[in-house]
Amino acid sequence: MATKRNNGPAPSRRDFLKTTAAMMGVGAAAGTFGGISCGPRGSAPIKVGIMHSLSGTMAISETSLRDVELMAIEEINAKGGVLGRQIQPIVEDPASDWPTFAEKSKKLLLRDEVCSVFGCWTSASRKAVLPVFEKNNGLLWYPVQYEGNECSHNVFYTGAAPNQQIGPAVTWLLKNRGKKFYLLGSDYVFPRTANGIIKGQLKAEGGELVGEEYTPLGHMEYSTVVNKIKSAKPEVVFSTINGDSNVAFYKQLRAAGITANDIPVMAVSVAEDEVRGIGGAVAEGHYAAWNYFQSVDTPENKVFVDKFRTKYGKDRVTDDPIEAAYFQVHLWAQAVAKAGSTEVDKIREAALGQEFKAPEGMVRLDPKNLHTWKTVRIGKIRADGQFDVVWATDGPVRPEPWDKIQFPKRDCDWTRGGTVENT
């Protein structure tokens, strides 16, 4: 574009300078007045960003999050919006490419001046955009469970921290299914960190590690892994496999004759959407730990599931990240209403301690660490691809971003300036 000019609508050099100046102005404003403020004031719509991969390898998971976030925005708009203003979503597709995530965040924050972005799925994409949000004081709302050990002032984590998913799952397995664990994961940051946590916990709670194996993302040939599992004779397999490999693993495990009665698999990245691709008949009897299942019995969930399926099709399913993506938009709207402003710093302040009756039950944004109080559940896969909840905590569990076994003294507390070491 820089070398060839025609008479079309290509931006002129003057436009470019203007935009740059405007961006710098925004940057300056962010420093002076406490954050970007969702477009002009008055009755103009409030602009928010939606940034999930709609193409590439992650589209399989992230497309549903875009859908449900648009649905939540529609709900809020139908009730008159927030502060008397409508909400205008700006949807960007970062195409499963981590640098593109960073670029799109910059575009959303600096050019569109959105005061919040709902986005990301993989930890890799979150890590890629983190510096952009921190530098420009934007707000990211992140709806997926993750490996923890992060404490940012610019991210609201509405998925589970490790102590709200992995920890309780390990404890439950030790009590109910056996002590001998085989750890199987995809080879990247989340499974390796998660397995570090699990190994610490096994030591502390009297479990035994009989094998540990990582397969590349997209791995499709599990015969050797299955054979190794057969020889190691574990009582449970704890799986942190992500993506398409899950389908291959469950199908080939089943073909080798190992059913959930022989060796149950506990997964933390297999939800209703993934079971649909594996097939309920193959995955039946295996477990997953989440905060939400489509089968959770609350009045809010019934309404939510009906609405989602009426809007997007009878064959669609809801699952944990979809539900978190949904309620985080409502938490955001409540925060904006309470703040009476669309400035980032004010939204953040108002959001802390905010509660919402979500489909999974009551959720609350922790007043100190920007993570979410959530109920922990363990589900058993049924033949129809849905889950039977076999265990749940009595109420929402406090999120602990830093792993207590690796970092016993570390805490995330923004009333004390972020990550702190307790003495």
Partner 1 sequence: MTSTTFLLGQLFNGLSYCSILLLIALGLAITFGLMGVINMAHGELMMLGSYAAYVLQNYFAKQLAAQYFGWYFVLALPLAFVVSGLAGLLLERSLIRRLYGRPLETLLATWGVSLILQQLMRQIFGANNVDVRSPGWLMGRWHVAAGLELPHLRLFIIAFTSTCLFLMYALLFRTALGLRIRAVTQNRDMSACLGVPTRKVDAYTFALGSGLAGFAGCILSLMGSVGPNSGQNYIVDAFMVVVLGGVGKLAGAIAGSFVIGQTNVLFESFSTATMGKVMVFTLVILFLQWKPSGVFPSKVRSLD
Residue 12 or residue 227: which is nearer to partner 1 going by CB? Answer: 227
Would you count residue 230 as binding partner 1 (CB under 8 A)?
yes
Residue from 251, 307, 338, 398 that binds partner 1 (CB under 8 A)?
Answer: 251
Residue 213 or residue 300: which is nearer to partner 1 going by CB? Answer: 213
CB of 245 to partner 1, least distance (A): 8
Would you count residue 235 as binding partner 1 (CB under 8 A)?
no
Would you count residue 60 as binding partner 1 (CB under 8 A)?
yes
DSSP per residue, 285-338: T-EEEES--TT---HHHHHHHHHHHHHH-TT----HHHHHHHHHHHHHHHHHHH
Would you count residue 231 as binding partner 1 (CB under 8 A)?
yes
Would you count residue 176 as binding partner 1 (CB under 8 A)?
no
Would you count residue 285 as binding partner 1 (CB under 8 A)?
no
Contact segment (CB under 8 A) with partner 1 among 24-32, 148-156, 214-222, 330-338 equals 214-222
Residue 44 or residue 256: which is nearer to partner 1 going by CB? Answer: 256
Would you count residue 358 as binding partner 1 (CB under 8 A)?
no
CB of 243 to partner 1, least distance (A): 8
**Bridge partners for 236 per DSSP:** 181
Would you count residue 63 as binding partner 1 (CB under 8 A)?
yes
- Are the CB atoms for 120 and 104 separated by under 8 Å? no
Residue from 75, 134, 244, 413 that binds partner 1 (CB under 8 A)?
Answer: 244
Tokens at 355, concatenated = 């509660």
Tokens at 381, concatenated = 């896969």
CB of 18 to partner 1, least distance (A): 35
Pick from 146, 112, 142, 143: which is nearest to 129 by CA? 142
Contact segment (CB under 8 A) with partner 1 among 253-261, 342-350, 367-375, 398-406 equals 253-261
DSSP per residue, 372-402: EEB--EEEEE-TTS-EEEEEE-SSPBPP--S
Taking residue 312's Cβ as centre, other Cβ atoms within 10 Å add up to 15
Would you count residue 311 as binding partner 1 (CB under 8 A)?
no
CA distance linking residue 418 with residue 423, whole number of Å: 16
Would you count residue 56 as binding partner 1 (CB under 8 A)?
yes
Residue 231 or residue 422: which is nearer to partner 1 going by CB? Answer: 231
Residue 34 or residue 279: which is nearer to partner 1 going by CB? Answer: 279
DSSP per residue, 219-271: ----HHHHHHHHHH--SEEEEE--TTHHHHHHHHHHHTT--TTTS-EEESS--
Residue from 205, 208, 221, 421 that binds partner 1 (CB under 8 A)?
Answer: 221
Pick from 359, 356, 372: which is nearest to 145 by CA? 372
CB of 96 to partner 1, least distance (A): 9
CA distance linking residue 329 with residue 337, whole number of Å: 12
Contact segment (CB under 8 A) with partner 1 among 23-31, 222-230, 369-377, 387-395 equals 222-230
Would you count residue 127 as binding partner 1 (CB under 8 A)?
no
Contact partners, residue 8, CB within 8 Å, separation at least 6: none
- Are the CB atoms for 98 and 56 separated by under 8 Å? no
The Cα-based distances of 139 to 46, 115, 195 in angstroms read: 14, 6, 30
Contact segment (CB under 8 A) with partner 1 among 36-44, 213-221, 329-337, 374-382 equals 213-221
Using a CB cutoff of 8 Å and minimum separation of 24, what contacts does 353-356 make? 356/327, 356/330, 356/331
Binding residues for partner 1, rule: CB under 8 A, are: 54-57, 59-60, 63-64, 187, 213-216, 218-221, 223-225, 227-228, 230-231, 233, 244-248, 251-252, 254-257, 273-274, 276-282
